[in-house]
Structure 1
Amino acid sequence: MDTEAQHTERDRSSTPADGVEEEGSRSARRYGGRRRSPMSLRTAGVIGGACAVFVLLLSHFVVQPFQIPSSSMEPTLQVGDRVLVNKLAYRFGAEPRRGDVIVFDGTGSFVPEGVTENPVSSVVREGLAALGLAEPAETDFVKRVVGVGGDRVVCCDKGGRVEVNGVPVDERYLHPDGGPSEVAFDIVVPEATLWVMGDHRSNSRDSRDHLGQPGGGMVPVDMVVGRADWIGWPVGRWSGIEPTGAFSGVPDAPPGGAHG
């Protein structure tokens, strides 16, 4: 009896009191005897860097967020909106059309040549702007195309409307504060350039403000960054920027440009 009792005590001592080691053994067998280790800081850094490079490349070549800094495009675009600019829209032979909302570099047309920014702050701002976290450069603008190469654009007709190639345009996208333009003009758009205006005409510095300057307020087509196609932020304004049919009745300009 004593011998049997001793064997029983030894058996009990070989079994863990709380079962922790036994459970650990089963877990080790379940995962092949190896325990998973947390991701190292180096691995996390590499993954984060790769994601950042991907986002920057995507922003540079395909779609770029662009923060709206002013009310010049209201009601279509509000201050603080982040629009997504389609950089492929005009890459394969297509050109901006009347009614498109575009982002362009205004250097040489809206902004004098030679305007520079501190190199360090420029790099930081460009990186943040590429993610839509900072306002664009002082040379970047968002406006609507009203006239393309060869068009004659006149304001205003007897009804107070803008005319393109002799056809009045019903611009329903305009801000109700003011009309199509308080500034009278009659211009012919040179080839490979654009005449652009904001939707909030009484609060927009656009082609009209540069009529007497070199270039006459025309934006070269090759300075266009892309077409604003979507509003990506804030969440409550998620939507596409719908094309307008305002220019559907405007005929193409005759060879050599439209004339009165």
Structure 2
Amino acid sequence: MGDVAVDARSEHDGPEGGSASSDRPGTRTKKKQRPFWKELPILIGVALLLALLIKTFLVQAFSIPSDSMQNTLQRGDRVLVDKLTPWFGSEPERGEVIVFHDPSDWLKYEPTPQPNAAQKVLSFIGLMPSAEEKDLIKRVIGVGGDTVECKGTGPVKVNGKALVEPYVFAGNTACSAEEKGQFKIKVPKGHLWVMGDHRQNSADSRFHRDSPGGGMVPVDSVVGRAVVVAWPIDRWSTLPVADTFDQKGINTVAATAPGALALTGAVPLVWLRRRSRAGA
């Protein structure tokens, strides 16, 4: 009887004598990592996309080009502006420092910087303040329905309440004695009255009362609230609202709002009750 041919290869060997462990159930093959230089463009693309989304919906950097907000803000400061809150229907409040689009050619005589290509790209994705957009930064003094008044050198009054303004530039008076600095106005609904902290060096709502809109800033023109001075490092600080804007009686709407809200909620309940009785 002839001998039985025996395959001398181990049961762990593959058809060609190599290891067959990768073919066995429950085993894994180690995938070869892609070189870092191939991953880098993807990482950069994701980073740029995230930066663009953050700039569009969350936070944007702005540069301070003038002295109109001294000493709160200095020329050359970089501030971060909260753009998310307005998406939830929140409107600017008294005392907030806001960035807004030029409402009616306030900056028509101001030169517009010409950035280079790199600056345009960086400002587009929000890594650098925009140099082309004509935006302004001021403090909200009055909101829709408020009566704002300046008489003599001040103080500024909102709805008859005098403001204590510790942020006003040292040596300035709260109101300017010149003609345009003397006023008593009522802010229309959906608009804001804004003033710079450097009162004697700020072309704000006071000085645009003869312009279309009467110096008011439409709420729709607001980019967002400036919340932090981010640069230079030694100037890092938050931009809080002064306590004077919380004083009792300054808000003429607050006293009637709860009643109006209760009435609004009661109407549908009464209607449903009457309907159920009619169907009985």
Task: Determine if the TM-score, normalized by the shorter chain, exceeds 0.5.
Answer: yes
Post-superposition shift, 1:129?
Answer: 6.5
User: Structure 1 residues 176 and 228, CA, compared in 2 at 3 Å: closer, same or farther?
Assistant: same
Secondary structure, in 3 states, of the residue corresponding to 2:36?
A: coil
- 2: CA distance, partners of 1:168 / 1:219: 22
Q: Distance in 1 between matches of 2:244 and 2:119?
A: 40
Given that residues 65 and 129 in structure 1 are in contact (C-alpha distance below 8 angstroms), is that contact kept between their aligned partners in structure 2? no
Tell me whether 1:244 sits opposite 2:239 in the alignment. no
- 2:73 alignment partner in structure 1: 77
Alignment partner, residue 90 of structure 2: 94
In structure 2, the residue matched to 1:185 is: 183
State yes or no: 1:128 paired with 2:126.
no
Letter of the structure 2 residue corresponding to residue 92 of structure 1: F
Deviation at 1:124, TM superposition (A): 5.3
The CA distance in 1 between the partners of 2:125 and 2:43, in whole Å, is 19
Instruction: Return the offset for 1:139.
Output: 2.0
CA deviations on 1:221-244 (whole Å, 9 max, x unpaired) are 011111111111111122221221
Match of 1:200 among 198, 201, 210: 198
Q: Is the 8 A contact 2:79 2:228 kept in 1?
A: yes
How far apart are 1:142 and its partner, in Å?
0.7
> Would the alpha carbon gap of residues 185 and 80 (structure 1) be closer, same or farther in structure 2, given more than 3 Å must change?
same
| 2:167 alignment partner AA | Y
Cα distance 1:207–1:130, how it changes in 2: closer, same or farther (>3 A)? farther
Judge conservation of contact 1:70–1:79 (CA < 8 Å) in 2: yes
TM-score by length of 1: 0.74
Shift of the alpha carbon at 1:81? Answer: 1.3
Could you tell me how far apart the structure 1 residues matched to 2:72 and 2:144 are?
A: 25
With normalisation by structure 2, the TM-score equals 0.69
Please give the alpha-carbon distance, in whole angstroms, between the structure 1 residues aligned to 2:121 and 2:195: 25
- 1:218 alignment counterpart: 216
Equivalent position SS for 2:246: coil
Measured after TM superposition, the shift of residue 123 of structure 1 is 10
Contact 1:148 1:189 in 2 (8 A): yes
Secondary structure in structure 2 of the residue aligned to 1:91 = helix
Distance 1:203 1:234, change over 3 A: same
- Do 1:179 and 1:201's aligned partners in 2 also have CA atoms closer than 8 Å? yes
Within the candidate set 29, 39, 42, 2:36 is matched to: 39
Q: Deviations over 1:165-202 (max 9, x none)?
A: 11111111100132112111111100100000110111
Question: Which structure has the higher relative contact order (CA within 8 Å, separation 6+)?
Answer: 1
Query: Do the aligned partners of 1:110 and 1:217 also contact (CA within 8 Å) in 2?
Result: no
Provide the alpha-carbon RMSD of the alignment: 3.2
Conserved 8 A contact 1:72-1:204? yes
Q: SS at 2:244's partner residue?
A: coil
